[in-house]
Amino acid sequence: MMCSHMYRILKNKRSWLSFCIVLCIPFFEIVQLLMYQKNSNEVFHPAFAFFLTGSSIGHAPQIMLIWFLPIYFLMLVADDPIQDYQTGYRYILISKIGKKKYVLHKMLLSFVLSFVTMLVALAVNFMTVSIIFSGGTFTKGVMDLNIEDNTLFQFSVNHPYIAILVFSIISCFMSGLAGLLGSSMSLFFLDRKYAYAASFLVWFLMILKRDSIVYLFQPFTEYGLGVLVPTILFAKFVFLLIAIFVFVYEVKYNES
């Protein structure tokens, strides 16, 4: 089932469009940074030119990608249960492998593909900035900052590559959760109109709240572990709770 699902995604132009957009948005950051350093002799440090660091003015590419992550992943993979429902393929699959496996497969594949898509986008971006900004040292003054009570910031400044690696893994994990949220909503509503709206609403409330999940995507910020750890735990709790609720409802109670 996993193979057929993957095959369907690989043959779907909509999924490819979404994948390409996720892959291309970080490149706008590079263009902005090149425009920024055009009139000076300074070259950005590769870790600070990395997409997640957000050194550009306005943070446009970051906003366009991170704020609407569930929408991209719904288009890519997570709204597949709705297509299954519309074509009737859902019932064939459920009668072949059972509802528990069906729901688990959909959720797992959404998580994995969203994780991998983000990983590919960030890896490609890192390779590109490493080539374009090779040997650069400009950090917009971040390296000179000294926030003594923030161990995470001090560690990030001392080990910038480890910092961006850790934040990249966290970002990929959050992307996986965004995909999981999308597939949970698709499995629950079985209607694109509701699934997209509900996924956006949950994700957006997590962005707008006081300790926003956006902080988890950006290294070299003033937010320390005291802010980031509760934020990631809360986000994980909310997204997993939704997924578990949908799983239990679909497997135990939903007889359709």
Partner 1 sequence: MKAKRAIIVIILWVFFSFVWFIQNRHFVFQSHLRLSFVEALSLMNSSAVGYSSIQAYALFYTIPFIVCLNHFFLLKPIYCIVRFAKRRHLYVREFIEIVIVAIVFSFMHTFVNVLWTSRFFSFEQLQEVSFFHIALCNGVLLSLFYTSVGLIYQCFKDLTRQSNVAFFLTLLLVGLWFFMEKLFIFTSWGPMKDLTIYTQWFENRWTIIEFLFAYIRQALLVFLLFFMYSFLYERKDFIS
Q: Which two tokens stand for residue 110?
A: 């959404």
Using rule CB under 8 A, residue 193 touches partner 1: yes
How open is the CA angle 194-198-199, to the nearest 5 degrees?
Answer: 120
Using rule CB under 8 A, residue 14 touches partner 1: yes
Closest CA to 247 of 175, 177, 193, 181: 181
Closest CA to 107 of 180, 176, 203, 186: 180
Nearest CB to partner 1, comparing residues 209 and 236? 209
Contacts of residue 64, defined as CB under 8 A and 6 or more positions apart, other chains included, come to 25, 28
| Closest distance of CB 28 from partner 1, Å | 9
Residue 4 vs residues 1, 103, 106, 201: alpha-carbon distances, Å: 5, 15, 12, 31
Q: Which residues pair with 44 in a beta bridge?
A: 138
Query: Hey, what amino acid is at 35?
Result: M
Are 164 and 219 contacting, i.e. CB atoms less than 8 angstroms apart? yes
Using rule CB under 8 A, residue 68 touches partner 1: yes
Q: How many other β-carbons are positioned within 10 Å of the β-carbon of residue 237?
A: 10
Using rule CB under 8 A, residue 57 touches partner 1: yes
Per-residue contact string for residues 134-173; x = within reach of partner 1 by CB under 8 A: ----------------------------------------
Which of 200, 217, 239, 247 touches partner 1 (CB under 8 A)? 200
Using rule CB under 8 A, residue 20 touches partner 1: no
Which of 9, 23, 43, 63 touches partner 1 (CB under 8 A)? 63
Which of 33, 66, 69, 75 touches partner 1 (CB under 8 A)? 75
Nearest CB to partner 1, comparing residues 15 and 168? 15
Using rule CB under 8 A, residue 60 touches partner 1: yes
Q: Using the rule CB under 8 A, give the single segment among 3-11, 96-104, 162-170, 192-200 that binds partner 1.
A: 192-200
Are 46 and 136 contacting, i.e. CB atoms less than 8 angstroms apart? yes
Using rule CB under 8 A, residue 120 touches partner 1: no
- Residues near partner 1 (CB under 8 A) are 14, 17-18, 21, 32, 57-58, 60, 63-64, 67-68, 71-72, 74-75, 79, 192-193, 196-197, 200-201, 204-205, 208-210
